[in-house]
Amino acid sequence: MFVRDCMTQNPITVRPESDPLAAVALLKCGSFRRLPVVDEQGNLVGIVARSDLEVFLSKAGSPGVLKRQHRVEQVMERSVVTVSPDCPLEEAANLMMTHKIGCLPVLEDDRLLGIVTETDIFQQLVSISGGGSPSLRLTVRVL
């Protein structure tokens, strides 16, 4: 199984100059935890987490000041671990565990195609193991 089999295609993105309040609204509306940040050409330049935005906003001042002075680029993580759509799912899971991250943007020819999250990987694991449906498990021990 590969990343392309379970990634979310064409994810919602924000620009570096976006208003942090608007980014939080997008995250809440879509029930997401992270948003890829892309430049005018659609190149990935970072990723921003809802938790980081909420901490930033709690310290940033009034909404009027926020709109004029603050931008997503002040909060985003610029060093982003990415994968290709042909990356095996277990390799993507290992990257997430190694780097202690919850998602990986999926790039092909430096263009953002999608995003794969830990939830996507868990859903695939449940699906291929028959989780959620009645089944019989047989364990064989080799001595």
Return the pLDDT at 17: 94
8 A C-beta contact, residue 34 and residue 8: no
Structure-token pair, residue 133? 């449906």
Higher pLDDT, 133 or 97: 97
* Least confident interval from 4-18, 47-61, 88-102, 125-139: 125-139
Confirm whether 57 is domain-assigned.
yes
Domain of 33?
Answer: 3-129
Number of domains in the chain: 1
Residue 34 burial (C-beta neighbours within 10 Å; 0-12, 13-18, 19+): buried
Residue 87 in any domain: the answer is yes
